[in-house]
């Protein structure tokens, strides 16, 4: 590369890094405890961790019917209508989400955790669960809604630019030195430059994967809208133009689930979307199934069942872009390989914090050095005429 090209890549790496560093530090710091969110919730009394038994999504006779669980949940929230049901795949707990109307914002939704063995709500939720929910909201959109999600997505793209430009800058440097060189006997700034380069290269693949999966997760709302406008519209074309089904005419959820299970055998239901919500039409129960392996449990297949008659309208897998979204979520937080992978994710997260922090330190140090050099040159320029006058005199 020519000297001008190297200068361009250095400038691109510097300014792209500075543009996203503050937000990436926030994401890394909040993301570190979120890697262990299940363990934190369990240690602080999360009901999902202390209740054991059959899976809520199963067909064990000991499980209460969905209709009775729903009636119990609605009795706790008079005047509200059902929006979603979601199941735990390893314990007999499920959630029922209600709200005043189908299109209520998230802030207006109320979630109840119910034990499907007893039909009773689980009321004791540990403080750790509230902490992880707060951190997740901060990590996802900084409490700014869609605008915050999209902004953090853009910061993720800028971070990826910083990673790529950092590799380009590092390549010519490595031609002059051994890989992983640490010049610890030189200046503090040079030592931290070596640490910055070495840790950055070691964590390169992880930072790229987590950064790009974070970008995909940040665009969940636009991705969902694309699915609604295309696949969902195609699946419900026969119902186009009809008035939404009023809640009083919603039929049996158990009957709809039985229809969906016949259409999609060998899979487990993950959640049910009621009519009018983002994942159904105004006339359907959207029953979303997941696979049974560590990989396929993140890939969803949809069955749309007429909410009034319990007849199947359509069933199909989610499109490729939604599969990418579904797979990026657990990969982003290291949820694929149990505790060993979580520990690796935590170490690499800490490495990234060091890379970001050392990058800021190096930039500040360089600016300070440039400032000192500029002041020295200015001082010499001022002293030079005086010195010349003294000689001529």
pLDDT string in tens for the chain (393-residue length): 677 888 898 889 889 998 999 999 999 999 999 988 878 877 766 655 556 667 778 888 889 999 999 999 999 999 999 999 999 887 888 999 999 999 898 889 999 999 999 888 886 544 446 788 889 889 999 988 889 999 999 999 999 999 999 888 877 666 666 665 666 666 777 777 777 777 888 888 899 999 999 999 999 999 999 999 999 999 999 999 899 999 999 999 999 999 999 999 989 999 999 999 999 999 999 999 998 887 788 889 999 999 999 999 999 999 999 999 988 888 888 777 678 888 999 999 999 999 998 888 888 876 665 544 444 444 444 444 443 444 344
Same domain membership, residue 226 and residue 327? yes
Same domain membership, residue 117 and residue 77? yes
Same domain membership, residue 222 and residue 107? yes
> Radius of gyration (Cα) for the chain, nearest Å?
28
Same domain membership, residue 116 and residue 62? yes
Same domain membership, residue 13 and residue 161? yes
pLDDT at residue 52 in the model: 60
pLDDT at residue 298 in the model: 85
The burial of 311, by beta-carbon neighbours within 10 Å (0-12 exposed, 13-18 middle, 19 or more buried), is given as exposed
> Does 89 reside within a domain?
yes
Same domain membership, residue 373 and residue 325? no
Same domain membership, residue 167 and residue 262? no
> Does 132 reside within a domain?
no
Same domain membership, residue 232 and residue 366? no
pLDDT at residue 182 in the model: 64
Same domain membership, residue 11 and residue 116? no
Phi, psi (deg, nearest 5) at residue 252: -65, 130
SS3 label, residue 330: helix
Instruction: Say if residues 70 and 76 touch (Cβ distance below 8 Å).
Output: no
> Does 231 reside within a domain?
yes
Same domain membership, residue 311 and residue 298? yes
Cα 377 off chain centre by: 50
> Does 45 reside within a domain?
no
pLDDT at residue 127 in the model: 47
Instruction: Say if residues 162 and 60 touch (Cβ distance below 8 Å).
Output: no
> Does 43 reside within a domain?
no
Mark which of 333, 353, 371 sits at the end of a domain: 333
Provide the number of structural domains found in the chain: 2
Same domain membership, residue 242 and residue 320? yes
pTM of the model: 0.80
Look up the domain containing 65 and give its range: 51-124+218-333
Distance CA 256, CA 80 (A): 21
Distance CA 370, CA 374 (A): 6
Mark which of 297, 317, 333 sits at the end of a domain: 333
Distance CA 211, CA 233 (A): 32
> Does 358 reside within a domain?
yes
Same domain membership, residue 71 and residue 120? yes
Instruction: Say if residues 210 and 32 touch (Cβ distance below 8 Å).
Output: no
> Does 152 reside within a domain?
yes
Instruction: Say if residues 149 and 140 touch (Cβ distance below 8 Å).
Output: yes
Could you give the angle at the alpha carbon of 75 between the alpha carbons of 73 and 76, nearest 5°? 70
Q: 99: closest CA among 77, 117, 68, 120?
A: 77
Q: Which residues contact 384 (CB under 8 A, 6 or more apart)?
A: none
> Does 391 reside within a domain?
no
């Amino acid at each position: 590369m020519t000297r001008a090209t190297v200068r361009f890549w250095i400038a691109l790496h510097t300014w792209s890094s500075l543009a996203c560093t503050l937000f990436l530090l926030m994401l890394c710091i909040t993301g570190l405890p979120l890697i262990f969110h299940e363990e934190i919730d369990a240690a602080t009394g999360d009901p999902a961790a202390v209740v054991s038994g059959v899976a809520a999504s199963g067909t064990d006779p000991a499980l209460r019917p969905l209709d009775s669980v729903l009636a119990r949940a609605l009795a706790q929230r008079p005047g509200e209508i059902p929006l979603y049901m979601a199941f735990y795949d390893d314990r007999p707990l499920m959630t029922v989400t209600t709200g005043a109307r189908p299109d209520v914002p998230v802030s207006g939704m109320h979630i109840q955790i119910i034990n499907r063995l007893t039909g009773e709500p689980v009321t004791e939720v540990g403080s750790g669960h509230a902490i992880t929910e707060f951190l997740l909201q901060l990590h996802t959109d900084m409490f700014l809604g869609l605008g915050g999600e999209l902004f953090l997505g853009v910061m993720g793209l800028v971070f990826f630019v910083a990673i790529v430009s950092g590799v380009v800058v590092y390549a010519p440097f490595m031609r002059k030195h051994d890989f992983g060189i640490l010049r610890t006997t030189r200046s503090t700034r040079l030592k931290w430059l070596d640490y910055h380069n070495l840790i950055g290269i070691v964590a390169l693949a992880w930072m790229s994967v987590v950064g790009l999966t974070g970008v995909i997760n940040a665009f969940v709302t636009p991705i969902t809208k694309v699915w609604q406008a295309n696949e969902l519209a195609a699946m419900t074309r026969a119902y186009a133009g009809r008035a939404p089904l009023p809640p009083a005419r919603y039929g049996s959820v158990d009957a709809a689930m039985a229809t969906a299970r016949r259409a999609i055998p060998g899979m487990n239901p993950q959640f049910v979307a009621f009519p009018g919500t983002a994942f159904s039409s105004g006339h359907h129960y959207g029953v979303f199934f997941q696979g049974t392996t560590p990989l396929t449990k993140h890939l969803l297949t949809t069955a749309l069942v007429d909410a009034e008659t319990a007849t199947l309208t359509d069933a199909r897998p989610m499109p490729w872009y939604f599969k990418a979204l579904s797979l990026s979520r657990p990969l982003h937080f290291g949820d694929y390989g149990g505790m060993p992978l979580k520990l690796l994710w935590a170490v690499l997260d800490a490495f990234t914090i060091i890379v970001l922090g050392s990058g800021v330190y190096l930039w500040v140090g360089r600016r300070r050095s440039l400032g000192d050099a500029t002041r020295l040159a200015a001082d010499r320029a001022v002293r030079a005429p005086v010195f010349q006058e003294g000689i001529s005199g």
